[in-house]
Structure 1
Amino acid sequence: MIGAAIGFARDELVKGPALRFDLGSLLDSLVEDTRAAGKDVTITPDARVVVVGDPAALRRLFANLIDNAIRYGDRARVGWRKLDGAVAVTVEDDGPGIDPEQAERLFEPFVRGDPSRNRETGGTGLGLAIARAIATRHGGRVTSEPSENGAQILVVLPC
């Protein structure tokens, strides 16, 4: 937990170079790496979207969301759609979902949806906080959205 806290603090302070890159390529690469590790993840590509940002940080943002989806919902589905001046990326799972009354709180550091604090059933409570910090640093946002099946996390980034 101490290592996770230090990592969270480091992410708040360290900023990589802002580069122009194809977000779809980053997401596709991340999904392929996750599949190669034997995890159930799919991707539904959309139009090419170029963003400006720190590719390593954005990869960590989406890796956290995919890991959460697999941990709590057995599988992850990743997709995106281009908006006017932005891109909306969704990461969905088939788990129990997120209680709308607790959703916003889950983005705070060290808050977990699993109250048992058992490391076997959950992490340190930093994944969503890190995702939000990275998105905010890139001029974007991360929210939990209502979903018919499981949880759905929405990331909106400028492009």
Structure 2
Amino acid sequence: MFLKKVILLRENIASFKHYPFSIPSINSLYQIEFKSNVTFFVGENGSGKSTLLEAIADKCNFNTAGGGRNNIYKVHASESALGDYIRLSWMPKITNGFFLRAESFYHFATHIDDVDDTGFRDYGGSSLHRQSHGEAFLSLFLNRFRGKAIYLLDEPESALSPSI
């Protein structure tokens, strides 16, 4: 386990009346301590799960539109409104990882098509656009997610359908 704690820097916040500080879960946040290797944020739409994951990704220097440190591309309105107001506590500090943002995964896949020169080695040997949505997610999980790293997954279930 690497990320130990997220601390909201409340003393740096001028007002809790505006987004993202008006979100009840953020408004009441002081710190979150992580005590296991896997943590699920659960709540209704608008409860702050994505906002917090995006802020953590921002502090990790991951692309907040989705990707890792080396994935440099822009998507409208992908900046973190909360990132400057949190502090992360690590043990040990890990710089490798990935932020999966399901809502902008298409843009990530396009970015990879533009820059990949390895034959899509980290994505199962095929462009993510040449796979179904679910296959592309699984290719990412199976081929890119390995080693000591932090993986931030925002709505990873969106491309997956259970069999009945």
Task: Normalising by structure 1, report the TM-score.
Answer: 0.28
Q: Where is the strand percentage greater, Structure 1 or Structure 2?
A: 1
- Greater gyration radius: 2
